[in-house]
Amino acid sequence: MHRFLFSLAVLALPLHAEIKLPKVFTPHMVLQRGMPVPVWGTAAAGEKVVVSFRDQSKTTEAGKDGRWMVKLDALQAGGPDTLTVGATKIDDVLVGEVWIGSGQSNMDMDVTRYTEGDPQLARLAQGTYPKLRLMRKDGNAVWQEASPEAIAKFSALLFSFGQPLQAKLGVPVGLMVGAVGGTPSGFWLTDDMLHTDAACQAQVQQMAPSYDYAGLTAKYNEAKAKYDQELAAWKPLAEAAKKEGKPQPPAPRAPQAVGKAGEVNSGKMGMLFESYIWPYVGYAIKGVLWDQGESKTNVACVDQYTLMGALIKGWRNAWGQGDFAFLYVQKPSGGGPAWDYNNPVTEKANKFSPLPKTIPPLPDPGYSQEMHIKIMSYPNTFMVTSTDLGPGTHPTNKSGYGQRASEVAMSAAYGSKDEIYGPLFASHKIEDGKIKIAYTHTGKGLESRHSETLQGFEVAGADKVFVWADAVIQGDNVIVSSKHVPSPVAVRYAWSGQFPWANLFNKDRLPAQPFRTDDW
């Protein structure tokens, strides 16, 4: 399980004789407080290795294969101090909290991409934060102090998360990022993680009989032949435009290959995990912040909820330090109104609007809030609510997203008692032509916002035809009904891709989440 600790691919710093360390050990690093801290590398077989830090000195010998590892005893926050391995000293080492950020473009894109549309981020990015340290994903990455120059090239979301977290905790914080834009979750876990996960394999078995691999492959082959023709026609046009100094015409887009049930549709399972996460695995951390979902799984017959369960469990097993906190940003981004549009965190949310006259279209079942809300059911896994933070594939207020994520981290990992969720559906009961909905996370109480009328609920009878419902708050419950549906059997709330008209919150200023009681 811990072969990663000694991968020669990540060894960088030459030390005494043959002693080498992974790239994660450089000056300006942050070590995780409050738990054993692994330090590892390679050396000549049988060579004695001494690792010293503060008042600790750990000695070991490299094995026959050259691998060695020691674990420092739990450390208290502070520094800077010097980590000594053999004859080499690594200076300016802090001890505090370490978080990894991963996912696709919303985690990958740097601060400079967002400062123009995010004044709060622009202001914070001009600061220097001696107790905030950054490690980017590039192959020659080293730890850096969070100066304006380093911040500009760092993940906008992870910086926006780490800066307020460090301010709240008052201890050093280290941030390590490994993310790639446009990538599915299937590239971020290994083949073994997927195929040893019982839930994923059960879903594949269930879905495989109805999965038309042959038909999809035939369509792909047709599309590929057409693409090849279009590409051949495009190349001379592009070359001519280049010679004339003109913009090249848009290139044709290659179709996506089709995988068999339980396999990736294109690319290699786990290829990004191997490139961007393996080098971090084993380094003591507090938790992970994940932002991905737009590209779904890319694994045939496995949905995002089920695959994320395998990914979360697989990462934790690889690290071998228990169920560390796993935070994830809710997808899709935005959709609902905000409690307060004067708050910089939520100022770019969808503006509240009247209830539509007709029931809006259904959300994408593979990319709905329902799919992503379920992920928080996994152990020690926490959702960063985004329905009130601003819409779009790439929401512009990264400072708001990061601030919300830091608040979730304070509760998930540091014992804060502040409410981090809006009302979540718990159960429903049908009585006398009405449906009584019970919620968890009611906080200081339920409240409708921007209108005295509570709206966004719809009910249906046995005919499965939904109509808008009348809704009233009753303590920690909501009672819904409609004169047009005397015998309701199902209820939905905010059941649409966009729902700026759904206005249930708790008095902690957090929005209620979409739900449905049917499976139609």
Length of the chain: 520
Taking 3-state DSSP, the helix, strand and coil percentages for the chain, each rounded to the nearest 5, stand at 30, 25, 45
Task: Assess if residue 250 is contained within a domain.
Answer: yes
Q: Are 299 and 265 in contact (CB under 8 A)?
A: yes
CB crowding 81-104: b at 16 or more within 10 Å, else e: bebbbbeeebebbbbbbbbbbbbb
Let me know whether 114 and 218 are in one domain.
no
Statement to judge: residues 201 and 220 lie in one domain: no
Q: What pairs with residue 427 in β-bridges?
A: 438
Regarding whether 326 and 382 lie in a shared domain, the answer is yes
Given 240, 260, 280, which residue is the final one in a domain?
260
Instruction: Tell me which of 358, 388, 420 is where a domain ends.
Output: 420
For the chain, list residues with pLDDT below 50: 1-16
In a shared domain, residues 292 and 196: yes
Place of tokens 């290795």: 49
pLDDT of residue 266: 85
Residue 462: other Cβ atoms inside 10 A: 10
Does 345 fall in a domain? no
Q: Into how many domains does the chain fold?
A: 3
Paired strand residues for 191: none
Q: Does one domain contain both 249 and 320? A: no
Residue type at 194 in one-letter notation: L
- Cα-Cα-Cα-Cα dihedral of 418, 420, 421, 427, to 10°? -60
Q: Which two tokens stand for residue 62?
A: 């490299």
Residue 230 Cα to chain centre, angstroms? 37
For 58, counting Cβ atoms within 10 Å of its Cβ (0-12 exposed, 13-18 middle, 19+ buried), the class is middle
pLDDT at 12: 45
Q: Is the peptide bond before 332 cis (omega within 30 degrees of 0)?
A: yes
Looking at 270-348, list the stretches that DSSP marks H as alpha helix, in order from N- to C-terminal side: 271-272, 304-319
* pLDDT score recorded for residue 366: 81
Residues 188 and 310 in one domain: yes
Does 338 map to a domain?
Answer: no
Domain identity same for 321 and 469: no
Q: Is 282 left (phi over 0), alpha (psi -120 to 50) or beta?
A: left
Q: Residue 203: in which H helix or E strand, if any?
A: helix 198-207
Return the SS3 of 90. Answer: strand
Q: Same structural domain for residues 53 and 199?
A: yes
Give the per-residue pLDDT at 137.
Answer: 76
Distances (CA, A) of 201 to 98, 259, 336, 407, 512: 33, 15, 35, 35, 33
Establish if 350 belongs to a structural domain.
no
Residue 9: its pLDDT value, please? 39
Distance CA 56, CA 514 (A): 52
Return the SS3 of 331: coil
pLDDT of res. 2: 47
**Dihedral sign (CA 149, 154, 158, 160):** positive
Q: Which class for 403: exposed (0-12), middle (13-18), buried (19 or more C-beta within 10 A)?
A: buried
Domain that holds residue 446: 424-516
Q: Looking at the domain assignment, is residue 349 inside a domain?
A: no
Residue 355 lies in a domain: no
Establish whether the linkage from the previous residue to 80 is cis, with ω within 30° of 0: yes
